[in-house]
Amino acid sequence: MNVASIIVVVIVYAYAAILLLRVMGKFNFFVTLVPEGFAKAIVSGGGVERMVMQWEGHTFRGKRNTPEDAAVISVDPLAYWDVVADDGSNVRDIFGRILSQFGMRGLRWVGIPGVVSIYTYKFRWTSLFQQSQLP
């Protein structure tokens, strides 16, 4: 086997793996594809295990790991799930950018089928104007 045929085989297998992951993501089988502007709750054992979301420039407060966020979460544990602006400098966002080059933006690990369930939420505008100060 020469080098050119090995390269062709590697490219074909990589493309097949990408297609397989996309199909598995569509059916929430081990992985899920979260479209832009959506969040999905991963439920296991009757309770929310974690949430995943895809919204450019935003993340959950608990995933930022800043001292200010830790102080807010210590007062109100539900604040972990607040959607906040993100600067995009963490490793997860860099990995997401690499995945988006292969058409797999929003690919997230779900878990073992039958053990976990997926619930989807679509973000919506609540007003046409941004409020300068929140209550």
- Give the phi and the psi of residue 48 in degrees, each rounded to 5: -70, 120
Does any domain span residue 68?
Answer: yes
Predicted TM-score (pTM) of the model is 0.70
Residues 41-73 pLDDT 10s: 898 887 888 888 888 888 888 888 888 888 998
Q: How far apart are CA 84 and CA 82, in angstroms?
A: 6
pLDDT, residue 132, reads 63
Number of domains in the chain: 1
Does any domain span residue 130?
Answer: no
Domain of residue 20: give its range: 3-122
Identify which has the larger pLDDT, 134 or 123. Answer: 123
Is residue 34 over pLDDT 60? yes
Does any domain span residue 90?
Answer: yes
Does any domain span residue 129?
Answer: no
Does any domain span residue 128?
Answer: no
Instruction: Please work out, in degrees rounded to the nearest 5, the angle formed at the alpha carbon of residue 122 by the alpha carbons of 120 and 125.
Output: 160
How much is the CA Rg of the chain, to the nearest whole Å? 18
Does any domain span residue 39?
Answer: yes
| DSSP character string of 18-53 | HHHHHHHHHTTSEEEE--TTEEEEEEETTEEEEEEE
Query: In this structure, are residues 57 and 37 in contact, taking their beta carbons and an 8 Å threshold?
Result: no
CA atoms in the 13 A half-sphere facing the CB of 40? 21
